[in-house]
Amino acid sequence: MFEVHNTQFIIMLRILRQIALWEAISTICLFFIAMPLKYFAGIPEAVKIAGSIHGFFVVIFVVMLIMSTVEYKWPILKAVKYFLASLIPIFGFWVELDLKKEIEGKRQKS
């Protein structure tokens, strides 16, 4: 039973890791591509598109984070740390790397 539960948790962490990566990439696109296009080239649609994509990844990240915390009894402080990190541009990459370490640690235990 623990092995199945652990495998499911690893899958959840992998998904969360990918979402964190895409959230961080979308932040960079929003700040360094879309916003300059809006303010320097007069193309406001760039922010609407990039902002919508970024918002989608943020919402999915938060939902997955809550699911991981509730379903697998993940430490609340870790979830709060990841949530706060997701609010700061570029820190999504740190979350992704930290989740990678977590996954590798879970694999070694099983």
Task: Flag whether pLDDT at 49 surpasses 70.
Answer: yes
Q: How many angstroms from the chain centroid is the CA of residue 75?
A: 17
Task: Flag whether pLDDT at 108 surpasses 90.
Answer: no
- pLDDT-derived band of residue 5, with 50, 70 and 90 as boundaries? low
Continuous segment of H or E residues that includes residue 32: none
- pLDDT-derived band of residue 106, with 50, 70 and 90 as boundaries? confident
31: Cβ–Cβ under 8 A, 6 or more apart, which residues? 89
- Average pLDDT value for the chain: 90
Residues 6/107, Cβ–Cβ less than 8 Å: no
Share of the chain above pLDDT 90, in %: 68
> Domain of 100?
2-109
Tell me how far apart the terminal alpha carbons of the chain are, to the nearest angstrom: 12
Task: Flag whether pLDDT at 102 surpasses 50.
Answer: yes
Q: Which two tokens stand for residue 8?
A: 């499911």
Q: Which pLDDT tens digit goes with each residue over 13-47?
A: 999 999 999 999 999 999 999 999 999 999 999 99
Domains in the chain, number: 1
- Is the CA virtual torsion 74, 107, 99, 61 positive or negative? negative
pLDDT at res. 2: 43
Task: Flag whether pLDDT at 89 surpasses 70.
Answer: yes
